[in-house]
Amino acid sequence: MIKAGFSDFYRLLRNGQVSKWQRNNWVTLDHSPHNTIAITAGTQLYELRKGGNISHYNGITCPGKTGGCDASFDQCDQNPSTVGIMINGNLAIH
């Protein structure tokens, strides 16, 4: 799955890895195997994880060669009933 944000491109792989396109290369932002189930982007990147957790990417760069870690995302909501996330025309999350 590829999503275009306000000024960036993001992808979600089947294994739950989330990456951002930078300088002709995909940079890993999150490598939560089989945990992230959807992403959407406006002015920020948001992800939906199993269990209804919605988080947004805060721009923190994580150490290590693999990149990505939980410190890169801040939790916005946790509702087990959440089945999807969407950005409206004003780039606000719903």
Domain count, the chain: 1
- Other CB atoms within 10 A of residue 56 CB: 19
Could you give the 3-state DSSP secondary structure of residue 70?
Answer: helix
Q: Which domain holds residue 41?
A: 2-78
* pLDDT tens profile 42-69: 788 888 888 888 888 888 766 665 556 7
pLDDT mean across residues, the chain: 77
Of all residues in the chain, what percent are helix, strand and coil, respectively (each to 5)? 5, 45, 50
pLDDT attached to residue 22: 84
pLDDT at 24 over 60: yes
Q: 11 near 3, Cβ under 8 Å?
A: yes
% of the chain at pLDDT higher than 70: 71
Question: Residue 23 domain-assigned?
Answer: yes
pLDDT attached to residue 90: 47
Question: Residue 91 domain-assigned?
Answer: no
Question: Residue 90 domain-assigned?
Answer: no
User: CB-side exposure of 53: number of CA atoms within 13 Å?
Assistant: 12
Alpha carbon 23 to chain centroid, angstroms: 19
pLDDT attached to residue 68: 64
Q: For the chain, what is the radius of gyration of the CA atoms?
A: 12
User: Model-level pTM?
Assistant: 0.76
% of the chain at pLDDT higher than 90: 0
